[in-house]
Structure 1
Amino acid sequence: MPTTLYEVLWIFIIYAFIGWCSEVSYAAMDRGIFVNRGFLNGPYCPIYGIGVLTVIVILTPLKRNLLLLYVGSFFLTSILEFLTGFILEKVFHNKWWDYSNKPCNIMGYVCLKFSIFWGFACTFIMLIIHPIIYAFIRYLPKTPGIVLLVLILCVFVTDCCVSVATILKFNKRLAAINEISKKIHVISDQIGENIYENVTDALEKKEKFEEDHEDLLNEIEDKKLILNENVDELKGQIENLNQEYKRLLEEKKYGFERLLKAFPDMKSRENNEILATMKNIHLKSLREKMKKFRKDKEA
């Protein structure tokens, strides 16, 4: 059981790092590639640090009762994962992971399979891993330990700020692309409406064609010229919007690429169709890179 803020912070940092290593290892086995998993850029997943710290503080008195330790770990980690997913979606309007396709899930934030796993993992940590980690923290020289901890926390806080800024920019990018998509649809509808209105108008005046032959032809010709000018102008706008749409979708930025790679199941509450398109482009690019890597390795 940690007794000082110094020990609490070290426990948080160490298990956040161990959690990141676990996520990277799982992704490597599941997808066959290195993935910098987690909400942040650095090698740590805060949810693991908070989760294990919570389990240690609350369940240490139950350590001798294996069943209660497991049940407590099962429920505490499930509650934490649910709250984290729920809060992140409310704050950033993105669902970072989704267990909706797995049985016995709650709103896609937690599922029985992973809750069972977290229960076993935390039980193992409490009985085997944490005594070693805690002994390391206690025997670490205090002054170097404080200096090192402060440096790590400074990097961590900076990373949090950078990551939040990146996510906000990412959401703005999705919104901008979605707005362009809407404008393209509006202009396409305008082209269709202009053509429809002019053709309908010409058909309605067909009966007067014989008696107002010359004047009607001139009027139709004038409308045709105006229509062509309007259509050409609208087509130019569509072409410009399509180019901007494609540029924003395909433009590569490290922060955006990392988020798409780290959270392949991420969903956007407001711009999910655009996000799905971006993920498909990213997946295609990733496959091409992997194919080239394998060819180079074989050569």
Structure 2
Amino acid sequence: MPQTFYEVVWIFLIYAFIGWCTEVSYATLDAGKFVNRGFLNGPYCPIYGIGVLIVVVILTPLKNSLLILFIGSFVLTSVLEYITGYVLEKVFHNKWWDYSDKPFNIKGYVCLKFSILWGLACSFIMLVIHPIVMGFIHIIPKTVGIVLLIILCSAFFADCVVTVSTILKFNKRLKIMGEIAGKLKVISNEIGENIYENVAEAIEKKEQFDGTYKEFKTGFTQKKEKLAENVENRYQKFNNSVQLNIEKKRAEYEELSKRYKELSEKKIYGHDRLIKAFPGMHSIDNEDSLLKLKEHLMQLVKNKKNQEE
């Protein structure tokens, strides 16, 4: 069990790094290529560091009982994963992982399969890995260890700031895409309604003209022609106004479509990395926009693969 803050920080960083290696290895085997997994950009997954640290602090006195060690690891890590998923969703409006398709899950944040794996992994760590880690920490000269911790922690906190900024910009991108998609739908409906109204008005004007024409057909040629000209002029003005409005709407639609395409296809490293790192991510507010980004990213990967072949 860690006795000092110095040891606590080292334990957190070491297991955060080991967790990142585990995630990357799993993703590489699954996808057949390197994937930088984890919430942050650097080689560490904080949830692993925190999870193992909690298990070490709470369960070290009970590690002689394998059953209690497993059950305790199972419960503690599951609670941590649930709280982490819930908090991240509420803060960033994205569900970063989703176990909803797996049996015995709780709101998609945790599931029985991975909770069992967490329990087994932490039991193994406590009995085999952790003594080695503590031995490594103790052989590092204290002064060297403190300097390394300052450097590593500075990089870690800088990464946290950059990642939060990236996520906020990512959510803003999704929001703008959602707003544009909404406007495109409204304009499309308006164009359709204008065309319908134009046709309906034209039919009505034609019927009025036909009625007037029949009424003055005999004996009132001059009056008939004047009335016909008046109706025709009014109809032409109306038609020109509608056509102009439709053209404006179409131009606006094309401009918004162009902007939407640019946003969905723009390559931004931090945004692409988040999508690759969390393939099961869902957006609470702009799921359609996120699906569009995922679709484009998958198409890029497919095109690259075809080129390599």
Structure 1 residue 203, shift from structure 2 partner: 2.2
Q: Percent identity?
A: 59
RMSD over equivalenced CA pairs, Å = 1.0
1:67 and 1:280 map into 2 onto residues whose CA distance is 45
Map 1:200-239 to 2 at 5 A.
200-210=200-210, 211=212, 212-239=227-254
1:169 match: 169
Runs ≥4 residues deviating over 3 A: 290-293
1:272 to 255, 277, 287: 287
Q: Which runs of 5+ in 1 are unaligned?
A: none
1:254 and 1:153 map into 2 onto residues whose CA distance is 23
Larger mean CA deviation between 196-205 and 77-86 belongs to 196-205
Larger mean CA deviation between 199-208 and 177-186 belongs to 199-208
1:207 and 1:278 map into 2 onto residues whose CA distance is 51
Map 1:111-190 to 2 at 5 A.
111-190=111-190
2:275 and 2:161 map into 1 onto residues whose CA distance is 19
Give the SS at the match of 2:41: coil
Deviations 1:32-89 (Å, cap 9, x if unpaired)?
1100000000000000000000000000011000000000000101000000000000
- Report the AA paired with residue 139 of structure 2: Y
Structure 1 residue 208, shift from structure 2 partner: 1.8
- Asked if 1:49 corresponds to 2:49, the answer is yes
- Asked if 1:87 corresponds to 2:87, the answer is yes
1:282 match: 297
Give the SS at the match of 2:44: coil
Structure 1 residue 250, shift from structure 2 partner: 0.2
Q: Which runs of 5+ in 2 are unaligned?
A: 213-226
1:207 and 1:150 map into 2 onto residues whose CA distance is 85
1:188 and 1:69 map into 2 onto residues whose CA distance is 61
The TM-score with structure 1 as length reference comes to 0.96
1:243 and 1:91 map into 2 onto residues whose CA distance is 31
Give the SS at the match of 1:205: helix
Map 1:189-204 to 2 at 5 A.
189-204=189-204
Deviations 1:238-297 (Å, cap 9, x if unpaired)?
11111000000000011011001101110000000110111011011122223434x3xx
The TM-score with structure 2 as length reference comes to 0.93
Structure 1 residue 160, shift from structure 2 partner: 0.1
Deviations 1:117-168 (Å, cap 9, x if unpaired)?
0100000000000000001111211000000011000000000000000000
Say if 2:205 and 2:235, in contact at 8 Å, map to a contact too.
no
Give the SS at the match of 2:155: helix
- Report the AA paired with residue 11 of structure 1: I
1:97 and 1:291 map into 2 onto residues whose CA distance is 29
- Report the AA paired with residue 222 of structure 1: K
Map 1:10-49 to 2 at 5 A.
10-49=10-49
- Report the AA paired with residue 75 of structure 1: V
2:16 and 2:190 map into 1 onto residues whose CA distance is 54
- Report the AA paired with residue 169 of structure 2: K
1:243 to 220, 238, 258: 258
1:227 and 1:73 map into 2 onto residues whose CA distance is 69
